[in-house]
Amino acid sequence: MNNKKYSTLLPKLHIGDLTAKLPIIQGGMGIGVSRSSLAGAVAREGGVGIISTAQIGYDEEGFEQDQAGCNLLAIRKHIQRAKELSQGNGLVGVNIMVALKHFEEHVKEAVAAGADVIISGAGLPLTLPALVGENCHTKIAPIVSSVRAASVILKKWAAKYNRTADFLVVEGPKAGGHLGFSREQLSDLPALNYDEEIKGIIQCKKEYEEKFNKKIPVIVAGGIFDRGDIDHVLSLGADGVQMASRFVATEECDASEAYKMAYVNARAEDIQIVQSPVGMPGRALKNTFIEKTKEGSQKITKCYNCLQKCNPAAIPYCITKALVDAVKGDVDNGLMFCGSNTDRIDRIVTVHELMQELAFGV
């Protein structure tokens, strides 16, 4: 743990009429890694706790027969439980992938359940404003990785819905999970000079702040590990950060103990770029499963109806089965997404300890 005490406090994060005491959003991690236990604990500490809706109902009775119904039930259940755990101290939201087959249903259920924010990526969430409706409590944010993507979404939302984003999540090339970059870009991270891309996105959103007379906070994600990283992106003009991997190694994380220890024991050489059935490269921990996927496609015996554009006959493996196996504890034969700094994690802490370290250096 970093024992440095900081002379300056982190600013609050203002998203419209909502306020988080700390500008720290815990990233959404599916399947089942960030549900109500983790999100509620982060919110209780004054941050923004995020639940991933991707196959969130994997352990609900009847999931094998009715994935869609169990997922909707679990979305409502975990949002409500996280809000109870937060004790009113922070914000609770969801991450909903555009690539999901039931994207629209997940958005509507999250709004009905009272989610404070919806963060959406793995595709361009061009219809998100229509799905949440007007005069909605729930704030919305697209995940973008480039000035171009930010410009396309903001322009589309303004023209078609006469509204803009409540905040932006800028996910860089060091993030875990699905990445909005090519393998070539990911092979040479220094060449990306991503700080300039962040500045460009901050500049891009100013036009829409003026047009709609509102502040659009920019949240930077990907490779954020400690307070020094937070201070750096704030110095670029960002308003906060989104962090995921460090929250895996917490007592409150919803994943199994084996999953958490895989993070603690990870070495730098264990972190690899893999190909996901979503159609995007992703960053994950090397294990037996990853090695088998390199040898050829894994036999798929059941479709779990998770992705819009999934053809079981053409994909390398079933991502639902791979992620569920891992979160339940089969860390050799499952898929474990991770960030680029996962090898720096050396122990499991409480969410309170982690948030105190990030905020105050204690």
Q: How far is the C-alpha of 29 from the C-alpha of 46, rounded, in Å?
A: 19
- Give yes or no for a contact between 29 and 248, defined as CB atoms under 8 angstroms apart: yes
Mean pLDDT in residue range 52-71: 94
Query: Range with the lowest mean pLDDT among 179-188, 256-265, 266-275?
Result: 179-188
Give 214-264 pLDDT, tens digit per residue: 999 999 999 999 999 999 999 999 999 999 999 999 999 999 999 999 999
Q: What percent of the chain has pLDDT over 90?
A: 77
Looking at residue 3, its pLDDT comes to 53
* Radius of gyration of the chain from its Cα atoms, rounded to whole angstroms: 19
Looking at residue 296, its pLDDT comes to 66
Q: Which of 250, 281, 230 is nearest to 10 (CA)?
A: 230
The answer for residues whose C-beta is within 8 angstroms of residue 115's C-beta and 6 or more apart is: 79, 92, 93, 94, 138
- In this predicted structure, the answer to whether residue 303 has a pLDDT above a threshold of 90 is no
Q: Is the peptide bond before 24 cis (omega within 30 degrees of 0)?
A: no
Looking at residue 1, its pLDDT comes to 45
Q: How far is the C-alpha of 151 from the C-alpha of 226, rounded, in Å?
A: 30
- In this predicted structure, the answer to whether residue 295 has a pLDDT above a threshold of 80 is no
Average pLDDT score over the chain: 92
Mean pLDDT in residue range 60-79: 95
The answer for residues whose C-beta is within 8 angstroms of residue 215's C-beta and 6 or more apart is: 14, 209
Looking at residue 83, its pLDDT comes to 97
- In this predicted structure, the answer to whether residue 181 has a pLDDT above a threshold of 50 is yes
What ranges make up the beta strands (E) of the chain? 13-15, 18-20, 24-26, 48-52, 91-95, 117-120, 139-144, 168-171, 177-178, 218-221, 240-243, 271-275, 281-285
Q: How many other C-beta atoms can be found within 10 angstroms of the C-beta atom of residue 75?
A: 26
Name residue 60's amino acid. E
Q: How far is the C-alpha of 210 from the C-alpha of 216, rounded, in Å?
A: 10
- Give the predicted TM-score (pTM) of the model: 0.94
Give 88-120 pLDDT, tens digit per residue: 999 999 999 998 989 999 999 999 999 999 999
Query: Range with the lowest mean pLDDT among 79-83, 208-212, 260-264, 282-286?
Result: 282-286
